[in-house]
Amino acid sequence: MAGCPSSAPAVSGAIPKDLAARSTMYDYFERWIWDGTLERIHHARYVKCREQALREASPTAAIIDAQSVKTAEKSGAQIDPRGYDAGQKVKGKKRHIPVDTPGLVLHAIVTAADI
């Protein structure tokens, strides 16, 4: 499907040379989160991908997955609290990601690992 998510991994920090500086891109990204633009873009792409897959625009079922992720030890104040996931034996964060049946992400929430 053209324009839909692929299984190719994204390279961290890889910004094409023809785009603005990293700090400028970060400022735009922060603004888009704040004013809801990023959510609207995600929804429009999500609906298009579902329609290209000949599915209804709104999902009828979802699967929720949670993944504990170890966070780096940093000195100084912690902005977000970390927790300890006793089942996974990980001190850090937990990602809660509901996906529809084809695997498209509906939303993502990050919490302390003990949630």
| Per-residue pLDDT at 37 | 95
CA gap 69, 91 in Å, rounded = 8
Question: Does 3 map to a domain?
Answer: no
| Per-residue pLDDT at 79 | 57
* Predicted structure pTM score: 0.61
Same domain, 50 and 79: no
CA gap 45, 51 in Å, rounded = 10
| Per-residue pLDDT at 8 | 47
Same domain, 41 and 86: no
Domain that holds residue 41: 17-58
What are the mean pLDDT values of the chain's consecutive 10-residue runs (115 residues total)?
51 73 90 94 92 88 85 61 70 86 86 80
Quickly list DSSP for the chain.
-TTS--SSPPPTT---TTSPPHHHHHHHHHHHHHHTHHHHHHHHHHHHHHHHTT--SS-S-EEEEEEEEE----SS--SS--EEETTTTEEEEEEEEEEETT--B---EEEETT-
CA gap 68, 111 in Å, rounded = 9
Same domain, 94 and 113: yes
Same domain, 77 and 87: yes
- Quick one: 70 exposed, middle or buried, by C-beta within 10 A (0-12, 13-18, 19+)? middle
| Per-residue pLDDT at 1 | 45
| Per-residue pLDDT at 13 | 62
Q: Are strands 90-100 and 62-70 parallel, antiparallel or unpaired?
A: antiparallel
Domain count, the chain: 2
